[in-house]
Amino acid sequence: MALSVLILGSAAAAPTLNRNQTAQLVSTEKNLFLVDCGEATQIQLRRYKVRFQQIDHIFISHLHGDHFFGLVGLLSTMHMLGRKAAVHIYGPKELQEVIQVQFKYAGSSLSFQQVYHTVEGSSAPIYQDNEIEVTAFEVNHRIKCFGYKFQERPKPRRINGKRVEFYKVPNYFRPKLKEGADFTKEDGEVIANSVLTDAPFPSHAYAYCADSAAHEKYLKHIQGVDLLYHEATFMHDQKARAKKTYHSTAKQTGELAAKAGVGQLLIGHFSNRYTDLKPLLNEAKNGFKTTSLAVEGKTYTTDISKR
Amino acid sequence: MALSVLILGSAAAAPTLNRNQTAQLVSTEKNLFLVDCGEATQIQLRRYKVRFQQIDHIFISHLHGDHFFGLVGLLSTMHMLGRKAAVHIYGPKELQEVIQVQFKYAGSSLSFQQVYHTVEGSSAPIYQDNEIEVTAFEVNHRIKCFGYKFQERPKPRRINGKRVEFYKVPNYFRPKLKEGADFTKEDGEVIANSVLTDAPFPSHAYAYCADSAAHEKYLKHIQGVDLLYHEATFMHDQKARAKKTYHSTAKQTGELAAKAGVGQLLIGHFSNRYTDLKPLLNEAKNGFKTTSLAVEGKTYTTDISKR
């Protein structure tokens, strides 16, 4: 098991015919999470055959339009297709007003409940189930903007079938073994858990940072994640412009990924001035070798063996 | 000269990979008018290479999302591209609130002025210049919904060069001839205007009706127009559904066009249940022969000789 990320949009600011505004689908075994939702995200979801009625949680980074203009349309289409299950929406507190006013005059109410969760950037998880935990943290942009970290929960230890059979561990005790308990035989002999089980599969983490001028102040939140998405709007020759607009250059992003010691870096949110993205990739790679470009329709996974 | 209509979207309700939400570009010699603006209209404008910074007037029919969800994104992109000229936006009075709240938390103000004009459906023009006059009228939908009529202003009479020369009409008098004045020679003889000029070119009219359950109550507003766009969401076997949702069947639309004695009928706003649109066309044609399907990327003109 791993986390995977389908890129739905990779453009900064305005959409073009080649690149859409920011949106990503983060998949786990049990969840489909949508992260940001630029204009026409619902069309991109159709293009890549995502069953979008299965998205129950939507995370919005900030209130610049290229990250949320598509949300109202997606919700509207979910309604028209007869959705019943609630949709949970996470973002800055003003998001609810921005979305709901657009439905206010349509003369009908949605077929499902929208549940808004105000994100503050505290360390408490904003979502958790037995598979994953999502936390939000503030990045470094002109207006309040959140990054999101998707952390798989610790996985159970894996039962070693042969040893369990050898020591005649009864079936009822197996869940306890997964939790790490030692086993005491009827004659009183204690068999250490480490004999009966193998180490759990690793728990992966994915962190999403858009939009942000790369900065160490959120380093601790992205430290050591298996996969980091971070914007890289400009080449470094535009560093003055990046600074002014609170965006990152590819060089800065690569350097931040190196400091954070992540497994892989994925860069996106490319300025429309660039048609050829290779120079951005190369610039980021100078700072951090294991970097990829966010390509729309392509899926990236935290499992490094699948790269 | 004629009015022309570029179809940017022809889908009812949700967009699909093949059809976009409603939007049209109405062109005159001097104006580019945008009529409705569903999600991703800005992408459609790019696709069809429309210089959208030249659009100064945008008309929104009603506040169902498939007719306005793309407006905020278009305005936002106009801003990012440095627009200075004001944009005039016509629609129901709540439109201003719906759009402006989306910019409210972005932390920047637009580079140009948005001028909102509340449409009431009175007979007074909502826009006019020396070329065209636009009026709004209420159609027949679940919520308040306006049709728009684009009427070319009366054109000047055309000077007959040979006659003017023969009667030695001085140059300074020619503008008066265009307005219909007779010419009095120095010897007192009066030359009738009809001798010196030919009839003006005809003034064309285009009417746009979406969304609406076809009804005679707005017949007077569309009577005799050269080109009528009217929605035809369903086939007539879905007439109960059409009635309930205040939409039209293709049959009803064809019959209304016949009653209105229009030059041509253009149907659109097709339900996503239809992939093959020919049956809709045939059904409308039973009522009104000169009917076309609204095809995205295709331009329709009021000039019947160019069909």
B109-128: per-residue pLDDT in tens? 899 999 999 999 788 999 99
Of the candidates B14, B17, B98, the beta carbon closest to that of A102 is on B98
Are A13 and B80 within 8 A, CB to CB? yes
Of the candidates B77, B98, B108, the beta carbon closest to that of A14 is on B77
- Tell me how far apart the alpha carbons of residues A296 and A25 are, in angstroms, rounded to a whole number: 11
- Tell me how far apart the alpha carbons of residues B172 and A233 are, in angstroms, rounded to a whole number: 61
Catalytic residue among A36, A56, A66, A276: A66
Q: Each residue's pLDDT tens digit in chain A (307 positions)?
A: 689 999 999 999 999 999 999 999 999 999 999 999 999 999 999 999 999 999 999 999 999 999 999 999 999 999 999 999 999 999 999 999 999 999 999 887 899 999 999 999 788 999 999 999 999 999 999 999 999 999 999 999 999 999 999 999 999 999 999 999 999 999 999 999 999 999 999 999 999 998 999 999 999 999 999 999 999 999 999 999 999 999 999 999 999 999 999 999 999 999 999 999 999 999 999 999 999 999 999 999 998 765 5
State yes or no: pLDDT of B306 exceeds 60.
Answer: no
Question: A148: how many CB neighbours lie within 10 A of its CB?
Answer: 28
Entry pTM:
0.93
Alpha helices in chain A (DSSP H): 41-47, 71-80, 95-104, 161-166, 174-178, 193-196, 219-222, 239-245, 250-260, 278-287
Is position A56 annotated as part of the catalytic site?
no
Cβ contacts (< 8 Å) between A70 and chain B: which residues?
Answer: 39
Question: Under a CB-based contact definition with an 8 Å cutoff, are residues A245 and A258 in contact?
Answer: no
Are A98 and B104 within 8 A, CB to CB? yes
Q: List, for residues A64-100, the tens digit of each pLDDT value.
A: 999 999 999 999 999 999 999 999 999 999 999 999 9
Mean pLDDT of B47-58: 97
Domain with CATH 3.60.15.10 in chain B: 4-155+201-306
Size of interface A-B (CB pairs under 8 A): 103
Cβ contacts (< 8 Å) between B98 and chain A: which residues?
Answer: 101-102, 104-105
Return the CATH class of domain B4-155+201-306: alpha beta
A positions 132-191 inside 8 Å of B (CB) = 142-143
End-to-end CA distance of chain A: 14
Q: List, for residues B228-262, the tens digit of each pLDDT value.
A: 999 999 999 999 999 999 999 999 999 999 999 99
Q: At what angle do helices A278-287 and A250-260 cross, to 10 degrees?
A: 30
pLDDT-derived band at B267, boundaries 50, 70, 90: very high
Any A CB within 8 A of B118 CB: no
Question: Under a CB-based contact definition with an 8 Å cutoff, are residues A64 and A11 in contact?
Answer: no
Q: Could you tell me which of B46, B85, B23 has the C-alpha nearest to residue B210?
A: B23
